Each structure stands twice: as C-alpha cells, then as structure tokens.
Amino acid sequence: MNDKLLTKYEVMDYLNISRRHFEKLVTEENLPIIKITQNKRYMRLSDLNSYLNTKMVNKPQETPQEVIPESDFQWKKIWGK
C-alpha cells in the first residue's frame, strides 16, 4: 500500500495547530507518528484520517432523501398561481 507520508510541519499546517499542541497530541493523545530521529517525524495520511475519525464528535450521517416526482409536486402552492 502506497500511503503518503506527511512531515510534522505538514500535519501541523493541515490541523492548523502549533508545534506545542502537536507535541501534546503525540504524548497525551497518542497521535500515531513515525519517528526517524528525535526531530524527524512523519505521519501516514491514512493514520491521520483514522485518528481524526476517532476524535470526531459529530460524525456526518447519511440521511435518505425522498424524491418527489415533478408531476406530484404542487408548484401552485409555492408560487400562489
């Protein structure tokens, strides 16, 4: 699987967070990173998406929409004609 690797700064830019907040997410919230050296860290895009999905409070839900045929729709009630 070819997954894009994001640098620490790309992740910070994507989430619009500071370096301090990034470090907090890594240490306290278990943000999944790949640590190469002490200062060189990467993150898989799929891992970031999975992490964000687990932290999402209001997950979007698919709502079925009823399709009303044009012939059944009563335009006269809307336009008053």
User: 3-state class of 39 per DSSP?
Assistant: coil
Q: Which domains does the chain have, with CATH numbers?
A: 5-55 (1.10.10)
pLDDT string in tens for the chain (81-residue length): 568 999 999 999 999 999 999 999 999 988 899 988 888 889 999 999 888 888 877 766 677 777 666 665 666 667 665
**Predicted TM-score of the model (pTM):** 0.62
